[in-house]
Amino acid sequence: MASAIVTNIQGYSIHDGPGIRTTVFLKGCPLRCAWCANPENLRPEPETGFFANLCRGCGHCAAACPEGAILPGPEQRIDRAKCRSHGACAAACAYKALVRYGTERSAAEVFDKVRRDLPFYQSSGGGVTLSGGEPLTHPAFVEELFDLCGEAGIHRCLETCGCVSREVLARITPCTELFLFDLKLMDPAAHRRWTGVSNEMILANARFLAERGAAILFRQPLIPGVNDDGENAAATAAFIRSLGREDLGIQLMPFHRMGESKYRALGETYAFGEAAPLTEERIAKVRKIYLDAGVACTVSK
């Protein structure tokens, strides 16, 4: 029985595919996008986050930690070298100042939870979406969960950065009804600078899915100073058009800073902490580039 490290099972999601959905977030990602809004899902192992603004200094967490990883002080903090993220400190904290990111769950366990929302899926044309991180770092889990969902008539959607092996992608394609596929940057050097990896495999995998007739909605996080220029949008539109399918469009996901507090909780620095949201005018200009190129383009709210 396959399992994966799950950080959240979020019901009533309306931005992760059609209809009302349940989104399951898995840990682990091959990319390190500087703007990532889910830093708790990057590493594959469980982690502990500390929200200093919620701490009341009661000391229960320090008493519960078997590793002695809670450091005293006006703002208690975690000794990351000692912390093993067992979760004892988070369980002992009545104020939710400590959070354990990641619990191992089997595909059967997750299915038992998501199937409870079946009436919502049926009434809205929704279903289950796997997100992350990169869900395809757990191919056996994805395949088993999606097979269970398919047998129950639940629509299956997968968010992916596309940076996975061809073998894994081919394995998952038959049980996936919609891919939400990220196209962040078309310039290889810029892609490596901002995400830590080349885009060669990503673009090849996008073409692979398109050639096999998979249902795909490309998505692009629109980040100020990174890819909000006309050049990147035009290059992305040209790539999508080169796939030879009129049904392929893209959804823009404008930059936001909602993940900033999680960086602090994990003791990390957020590279885009000073960046301002894009204006509606700027977003509209980028969208127009896609539309003028003949690529359907929507904006995520």
- Span 272-285, mean pLDDT? 95
Given pLDDT bands bounded at 50, 70 and 90, which one contains residue 235? very high
CATH number (3.20.20.70, 3.40.50.1000, 3.40.190.10, 3.30.40.10) of 3-33+107-299 reads 3.20.20.70
Average pLDDT (215-224) is 98
What percent of the chain clears pLDDT 90, i.e. is strictly above it?
A: 95
| DSSP symbols for 8-51 | EEEEEESSSSSSSEEEEEE---S---TT-S-GGGTSSS-EEEE-
Residue 190 has pLDDT above 90, yes or no: yes
Residue 74 confidence (pLDDT): 63
Domains 3-33+107-299 and 47-101 share a fold: no
Whether the CB-CB separation of 169 and 208 falls below 8 Å is answered with: yes
Please, what is the average pLDDT of the chain? 96
CB–CB of 15/116 below 8 Å?
no
Fold of 47-101: Alpha-Beta Plaits (3.30.70)
Q: What is the mean pLDDT of residues 134-156?
A: 98
- How do residues 65-116 score in pLDDT, each as one tens digit? 999 999 987 676 899 999 999 999 999 999 999 999 999 999 999 999 999 9
pLDDT at 1 over 90: no
